[in-house]
A and B are shown apart, each in its own frame.
Chain A
Amino acid sequence: MSELKTKEAFAQSSETIDGNIATINFGPTHPSTHGIFQNVLKVDGEKILSSEQTVGYIHRAFEKLSERRPYNQITPITDRLNYCSSPINNMGWEMTVEKLIGAEIPKRVQYMRVIIMELARIADHLICNSVIGVDAGALTSFFYPFTEREKIYELYEEICGARLTTNIGRIGGFERDFTPAFHTKLQSFLKTFPKAFEEFDSMLARNRIFMDRTKGAGPISAERALAYSFSGPNLRATGVDYDVRAMHPYSSYEDFDFTIPVGVNGDTYDRFMVRQEEIRQSIRIIEQAYKNLPEGSYKADLPDFYLPAKADVYNNMEALIYHFKIVMGETEIPPGEVYHSVEGGNGELGFYLISDGGRTPYRLQFRRPCFIYYQAYPEMITGMSISDAVLTLSSMNVIAGELDA
């Protein structure tokens, strides 16, 4: 007798506990929402009959703010979308602007970006998967990967000095080349991480209790997921192999050999397993990018956008002028309309930018994968028990920052 059968039977059974339907507030502040959003559940005993969502608790008007900020000042806003993988957001935005101005980016910068973005993906997926463990009652598997995640944050620090909201890189490249300390730390990370990760994997992936809890919890079919415009690991868990990195390669992703893992049932266990495999693939990509890291400059030749070196600003008239123009937001931007998307931690993170030639975007819309797929949540948990709803929520990796913009 498998647990999957029991869950299905539970969802289909029409028996009631005592005929009383209760209303429960799941959120806005609840330990397992991992952010602030509310679900009003109608339950019959343990079984969820319907759910109504309220979002927007931390809406910070990013799209409106962006209409009054010069382009380089929008990067810190993107940090606060999916704050578990800020570098991907930052670089997605930088690449959008580079696409708009038609900048040519050196191969070295593209490879450096790939390394950072894949590190960010690992950090993002590690958080999500370890939190699924917590919500299933396994706290060890939460603390264990934090040692490794800490190493990734130290790597961010080597690049940009920040850890969570990174504001990493610049339009046109990086502030500085990889430092010797970064090289040492990355090499040691690449050496130790796979082993530590497999230990983490062995705690949950074939754990009988974890499998029984997650298999069949919060499933969605590929058809429904597509109708809901799912993307990222949640879509791939249903068996659809859409990945922006493969379909519309950016930043030289076409140079790397990696596979796109897919699930079968689209349930919590599949989402977990897809993310686990993606971490392994990310390590593969980092290894390839690091091994073949091209020689060259860590920045593009974009004096209008890329801040000159401080020493030049003090000693060189031209650099001072560029510095002033960039800091004061006096840079000339061509009018245009551009959409650029990257594969974020949660799926297709898109930037739809309309420039009218002014100093700030005329309109900037963020395609936030969380916001789009979270609307399927009621459909996924109807018929489930409350504890399954908790697991479903954490396995969807709904990040309040990205949800509410």
Chain B
Amino acid sequence: MEKLNNEAILNLIQGAFPNDVLFHEEPYGLLTMEVPAAKGHEIIEWLKNHETLSVNYLTNIAGIHYPEDAGREFAVVYQLHSWKNQFRLRLKCYLSKDALSIASIVDLFAGANWMERETYDFFGIQFVGHPDLRRILNEDSMDYFPMRKEYQLEDATREDKDDRYFGRNNL
């Protein structure tokens, strides 16, 4: 069987979801696509059940916080893997800080359970339909989401650890 290249994969996805690939690129050869958050579940389900693509493995789920990107402050990144065709795929769904929720994919991949809990724990992103969305690594009584950029690692009163020394100014 001939190996699918990224272009062919992208064409297949764009064929099925003509308006939903908002952006795509290939950093280091890994096909990365932005899709609407509302369509994330549907697209992953389609990819999983597609006969040719057969994206059978969920590698990881990561949250990212971009506090300066108004309306798209949070991203949920799904990294998927098709073993049959030996390609990886990265799907990004951006969320606004005012509507921080996205459909859970636990029904598709049981392993998404803790990955989503971890993302919730650190970023506060709600996964709708998750069977048990609780904190996982942090303690239950914590009332903030520590991986957000507004929580600085260092003691804010210290002057010797100025953020400018770390290459950025306003985080």
Contacts of A65 on B, CB cut-off 8 Å? 153
Please judge, given known A-B contacts A229-B58, A358-B167, A367-B60, whether A56 and B111 are in contact too, CB under 8 Å. no
CB neighbors of B among A46-79 (8 A): 55-56, 59, 61, 63-65, 67-68
Please judge, given known A-B contacts A63-B122, A339-B88, A365-B62, whether A405 and B137 are in contact too, CB under 8 Å. yes
Residue of A nearest to B106 (CB): A227
Please judge, given known A-B contacts A63-B147, A339-B30, A372-B114, whether A348 and B59 are in contact too, CB under 8 Å. yes
| Residue B79, interface by CB 8 Å | yes
Residue of B nearest to A362 (CB): B64
Q: Is the CB of B137 within 8 A of A59?
A: yes
Q: Is the CB of B27 within 8 A of A227?
A: no
Q: Is the CB of A227 within 8 A of B79?
A: no
How far apart are the CA atoms of A117 and B115 in the complex, in Å? 27
Contact partner of B56 (CB less than 8 A), chosen from A226, A348, A350, is A226
| Residue A360, interface by CB 8 Å | yes
List 15 additional contacts besides A356-B168, A357-B167; criterion CB under 8 Å: A55-B137, A65-B153, A100-B28, A226-B56, A227-B110, A229-B57, A229-B111, A230-B111, A336-B28, A337-B32, A352-B60, A352-B62, A360-B167, A372-B111, A375-B110
| Residue B109, interface by CB 8 Å | yes
Question: What would 13 A/B residue contacts be, using CB atoms closer than 8 Å?
Answer: A56-B136, A59-B137, A229-B111, A339-B88, A341-B59, A352-B60, A354-B64, A358-B166, A367-B59, A367-B60, A372-B60, A375-B113, A405-B137
Contacts of B167 on A, CB cut-off 8 Å? 357-360
| Residue B7, interface by CB 8 Å | no
Contacts of A55 on B, CB cut-off 8 Å? 136-137
Contact partner of B86 (CB less than 8 A), chosen from A228, A247, A357, is A247
Contact partner of A336 (CB less than 8 A), chosen from B27, B86, B111, B136, is B27
Q: How many interface residues does chain A have, given as a range?
A: 35 or more
Q: Mark A321-337, 1 if CB is under 8 A from B, else 0.
A: 00000000100000011
Task: Give B contacts to A, CB under 8 Å.
Answer: 27-28, 30, 32, 56-60, 62, 64-65, 77, 79, 83, 86, 88, 90, 109-111, 113-115, 118, 122, 136-139, 146-147, 151, 153-154, 165-168
Contacts of B137 on A, CB cut-off 8 Å? 55-56, 59, 404-405
Contacts of A341 on B, CB cut-off 8 Å? 59
Contacts of B57 on A, CB cut-off 8 Å? 226, 229, 242
Q: Is the CB of B79 within 8 A of A339?
A: yes
| Residue A210, interface by CB 8 Å | no
| Residue A183, interface by CB 8 Å | no
| Min CB–CB distance A328 → chain B (angstroms) | 8
Q: Is the CB of B153 within 8 A of A229?
A: no
How far apart are the CA atoms of A360 and B167 in the complex, in Å? 8
Q: Is the CB of B153 within 8 A of A56?
A: no
CB neighbors of B among A341-391 (8 A): 341, 348, 350, 352, 354, 356-360, 362-363, 365, 367, 371-376
How far apart are the CA atoms of A394 and B111 in the complex, in Å? 20
Contacts of B28 on A, CB cut-off 8 Å? 99-100, 336-339
Q: Is the CB of B110 within 8 A of A224?
A: yes
